[in-house]
Structure 1
């Protein structure tokens, strides 16, 4: 085999491995969203991606490592979506920017990403070692909401009030993953209600 043939074969092998890894991650995100972390079976996951169970360990050393990667992707995806939505909107009012973040967070969580939904659903139930691995990436997204809420409350806001409102707001958004039904509920309607609560506007029918 020539050197160029060997190099081509190596590239193809890497591409195949990367495609298999991506398929495993997508299937794991979907399964974690549906059944949770504890109930996710690696045997079932392997069957879903047409692999033998042992083949998963070529890509991930453990279930915890796989879950960590799925959840890391979720946090990074939702932070990137919100930051992209806010880009170029520095001239908008703090209330408008907060409303943009609320809508994008809900859309990404409920309609666009199993990775995000699986993170929200599974984080309280994964081992402490997994949560530790996710601490920095979660802190980055938390800080984005701290800044948005602080700007919204104004210069006289106390750190305590910022913390309380951030927990109440993000908790309400994330809690929707447990009850939201796309056949019954509307992301835009829920975001509208949150926006009106934040700005003390009356809640009326559309």
Structure 2
């Protein structure tokens, strides 16, 4: 862990940024600059408070990071689960998958600095921080595995599809859009449609023989 507090006994911050405000600012900084470049002093400066005031809410930089990572997973997980749950009971497999893909991308690209920060810094943080976030990450992966398994069992997916590998490929491709997505050149919804077309229909032109 890094930048641990010398004492929990500090005065209440005069600035009303609060715990949520510190997290919001931290998520934006981590998304923009990565884990290593962001210090408690930099977070405090962006929040307009003294660095010592952060210790009123958090014991260390990595305690903030865990909270940012956890919220990032919750945002995208809730978005995907709610979008799929809202579909009519008789919705077909293609519409279900398109909805799940769209919800994941919108949460990642449009809705929250937390989701973007989670993807961008997870591989940069110390192992104890990753370990603290893993239960929520595993729960989201299990949500996808359950969805894909249900579709396979219903006959909508090929019987020999490896669910874990399919999920890793799908989520990995969606998360990688953070490196190049430009909202000025198209929306997250348009991108989700393009990705869904490729995943569901392939890229090769079928020719009758």
**Where do 1:1-206 residues align within 5 Å?**
20-89=18-87, 90-154=89-153, 157-158=159-160, 161-200=162-201
Question: 1:147: Cα distance to partner?
Answer: 1.7
Work out the CA distance in 2 between the residues paired with 1:88 and 1:187. 20
Gaps of 5+ in 1: 1-13
8 Å CA contact retained: 1:98, 1:152: no
Gaps of 5+ in 2: 1-11, 205-209
8 Å CA contact retained: 1:146, 1:163: yes
8 Å CA contact retained: 1:74, 1:117: yes
8 Å CA contact retained: 1:150, 1:157: no
The residue aligned with 2:7 is: none
Question: TM-score, normalising length from structure 1?
Answer: 0.84
- Ranges of 4+ aligned residues in structure 1 off by more than 6 Å: none
The residue aligned with 1:3 is: none
1:178/1:190 CA distance change after superposition, 3 Å: same
Work out the CA distance in 2 between the residues paired with 1:198 and 1:26. 34
How many pairs are equivalent? 189
Query: For structure 1, which segment, 84-93 or 54-63, has the greater mean C-alpha deviation from structure 2 after superposition?
Result: 84-93
Work out the CA distance in 2 between the residues paired with 1:157 and 1:18. 56
Question: TM-score, normalising length from structure 2?
Answer: 0.83
SS for the counterpart of 2:86 is coil
Which string of whole-angstrom CA distances, capped at 9 and with x for unpartnered residues, describes residues 29-66 of structure 1? 00000001111121111011111111111111111110
Which string of whole-angstrom CA distances, capped at 9 and with x for unpartnered residues, describes residues 145-164 of structure 1? 11222234445635x71111
SS for the counterpart of 1:139 is helix
What root-mean-square deviation, in Å, do the aligned CA atoms of Structure 1 and Structure 2 show? 2.3
